[in-house]
């Protein structure tokens, strides 16, 4: 349960356990120090110095929000207990840096590296992500280029669907840092919302000990795997939010404020962890790959896509139906293909 922030009190948002050895703690506007008893978070208030002791042995990751300072002895204690420290923005919606202890398990990193280094298994991982995103099966023999084309068709169809709902004619997704202020409100809100989503995903990946750079679909950036995992949630979180803010006078700020409320970290972080673990366990029964998951910004300029046949692709390459072989009509039962129903 997230503690409500009160005047002069630290914000402590404890996330429920995901497994016996995995839990998170978000703190902001506190000073974290070490005393003879343990690690504590303290803050000065009109009532004096208020303290909350942190259960270091029970935590896998501590998210350090704005206004937080931490001493070297406290960091050393976290390291001895195998706890990662991640510097994040307000509400945990951005990730800036990570301090990982030497004792952090490499189990999930090794699984990720084995899949990344094997072209066939890498495509299998991409197919598994596609099935999760759109709740539909993939024909045998589908290439990554075809998969990317199918994905693009369904996302564009979803843009059209939301454009009709909000009476926005001919929306086109556009991300241009050089002309940031001239973009339409939906694109501004979507870019800002995606940046926040990337931060949450980045923090979770680091807490698991995985590499943010070893992506299965994206490549050429230190956040390739972050973009892969974030794509699982855009259609349900950031895209509908961006269209809902089409009339906002400050869509960037509105998107960030809404996400701090709507992410509900007590649900999003455990979901991301479960989805990453499921994705990396390719040795599990493949018959269950099409099932639903466990209950379920700003991009870097040089982001590439990966293809097993032709290697690295420039960012922004689009594959049409003509490029992808015999595909089904993306407008046929589009809500089902996108894993609906969607918010009204």
% of residues, the chain, pLDDT over 90: 30
Is residue 318 domain-shared with residue 280, that is, in the same domain?
A: yes
Q: Which of 99, 131, 164 is the last residue of a domain?
A: 99
pLDDT band at 308 (very low <50, low <70, confident <90, very high): low
DSSP string, 323-341: GS-S---TTTTHHHHTT-P
pLDDT, mean over the chain: 77
Q: Which of 60, 75, 99 is the last residue of a domain?
A: 99
Secondary structure class of 20 (helix, strand, coil): coil
pLDDT band at 304 (very low <50, low <70, confident <90, very high): low
Is residue 321 domain-shared with residue 250, that is, in the same domain?
A: yes
Is residue 187 domain-shared with residue 67, that is, in the same domain?
A: no
| Residue 291 scores a pLDDT above 50 | no
| Residue 25 scores a pLDDT above 60 | yes
Q: Give the range among 17-21, 132-136, 182-186 with minimum mean pLDDT.
A: 17-21
pLDDT band at 316 (very low <50, low <70, confident <90, very high): very low
In this structure, how many other beta carbons lie within 10 angstroms of the beta carbon of residue 274? 16
Is residue 69 domain-shared with residue 118, that is, in the same domain?
A: no
pLDDT band at 17 (very low <50, low <70, confident <90, very high): very low
Is 47 inside a domain boundary?
yes
Can you say how many angstroms the Cα of residue 39 is from the centroid of all Cα atoms in its chain? 29
Which residue would you say has higher pLDDT here, 19 or 282?
Answer: 282
Is 1 inside a domain boundary?
no
Is residue 201 domain-shared with residue 254, that is, in the same domain?
A: yes
Based on the structure, what is the number of domains in the chain?
2
Is residue 74 domain-shared with residue 55, that is, in the same domain?
A: yes
Reported as a single tens digit per residue, the pLDDT across 51-97 is: 999 988 888 788 898 999 999 999 999 988 888 888 888 766 777 88
- Per-residue pLDDT at 13: 52
User: 282: domain CATH number?
Assistant: 1.20.120.920
Q: What is the mean pLDDT of residues 278-297?
A: 54
- What phi and psi, each to the nearest 5 degrees, are found at residue 100? -105, 135
Is 237 inside a domain boundary?
yes
Q: What is the mean pLDDT of residues 176-184?
A: 75
Q: Give the range among 21-30, 224-233, 275-284 with minimum mean pLDDT.
A: 21-30
Residue 316 to residue 174: CA distance in whole angstroms: 10
- 190, 242 in Cβ contact below 8 A? yes
Is 175 inside a domain boundary?
yes
- Per-residue pLDDT at 305: 66
- 14, 52 in Cβ contact below 8 A? no
Domain of residue 15 covers 11-99
| Residue 228 scores a pLDDT above 60 | yes
User: 55: domain CATH number?
Assistant: 3.100.10.20
DSSP-assigned beta bridge partners for residue 50: 43
Is residue 316 domain-shared with residue 272, that is, in the same domain?
A: yes
Is 4 inside a domain boundary?
no
Q: What is the mean pLDDT of residues 282-287?
A: 53
Residue 40 to residue 259: CA distance in whole angstroms: 29
Is 326 inside a domain boundary?
yes
pLDDT band at 192 (very low <50, low <70, confident <90, very high): confident
Is residue 70 domain-shared with residue 150, that is, in the same domain?
A: no
Is residue 94 domain-shared with residue 239, that is, in the same domain?
A: no
Is 325 inside a domain boundary?
yes
Is residue 75 domain-shared with residue 123, that is, in the same domain?
A: no
Is 48 inside a domain boundary?
yes
Is residue 59 domain-shared with residue 155, that is, in the same domain?
A: no
Is residue 256 domain-shared with residue 142, that is, in the same domain?
A: yes
Task: Provide the sign of the torsion angle of the four alpha carbons 201, 202, 208, 211, taken in this order.
Answer: positive
Q: Which of 99, 116, 151 is the last residue of a domain?
A: 99
| Residue 200 scores a pLDDT above 70 | yes
pLDDT band at 314 (very low <50, low <70, confident <90, very high): low
């Amino acid at each position: 349960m997230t503690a409500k922030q009160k005047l002069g009190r630290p914000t402590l948002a404890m996330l429920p356990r995901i497994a016996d050895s995995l839990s998170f703690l978000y703190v902001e506007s506190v000073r974290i120090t070490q005393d003879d008893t343990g690690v504590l978070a303290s803050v000065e208030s009109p009532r004096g110095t208020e303290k909350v002791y942190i259960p270091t042995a029970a935590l896998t990751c501590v998210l350090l929000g704005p206004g937080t300072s931490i001493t070297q002895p406290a960091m050393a204690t976290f390291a001895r207990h195998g706890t990662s420290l991640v510097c994040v923005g307000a509400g945990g919606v951005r990730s800036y840096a990570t301090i990982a202890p030497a004792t952090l398990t490499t189990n999930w990193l090794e699984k990720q590296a084995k899949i990344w280094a094997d072209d066939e298994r890498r495509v299998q991982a991409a197919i598994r992500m596609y099935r999760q995103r759109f709740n539909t099966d993939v024909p045998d023999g589908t290439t990554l280029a075809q998969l990317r084309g199918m994905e693009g068709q369904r996302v564009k169809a979803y843009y059209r669907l939301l454009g009709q709902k909000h009476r926005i004619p001919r929306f086109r997704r556009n991300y241009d840092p050089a002309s940031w202020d001239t973009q339409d409100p939906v694109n501004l809100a979507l870019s800002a919302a995606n940046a926040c989503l990337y931060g949450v995903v980045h923090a979770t990946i680091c807490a698991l000990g995985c590499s943010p750079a070893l992506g299965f679909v994206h490549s050429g950036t230190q956040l390739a795997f972050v973009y892969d995992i974030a794509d699982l949630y855009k259609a349900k979180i950031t895209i509908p939010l961006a269209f809902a803010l089409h009339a906002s006078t400050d869509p960037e700020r509105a998107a960030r404020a809404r996400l701090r409320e709507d992410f509900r970290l007590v649900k999003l972080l455990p979901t991301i962890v479960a989805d990453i673990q499921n994705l990396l366990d390719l040795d599990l029964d493949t018959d269950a790959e099409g099932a639903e998951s466990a209950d379920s910004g700003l991009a870097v300029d040089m982001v590439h896509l990966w293809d097993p046949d032709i290697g690295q692709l420039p960012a922004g390459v689009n594959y049409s139906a003509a490029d992808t072989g015999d595909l089904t009509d993306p407008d046929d039962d589009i809500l089902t293909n996108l894993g609906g129903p969607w918010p009204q």
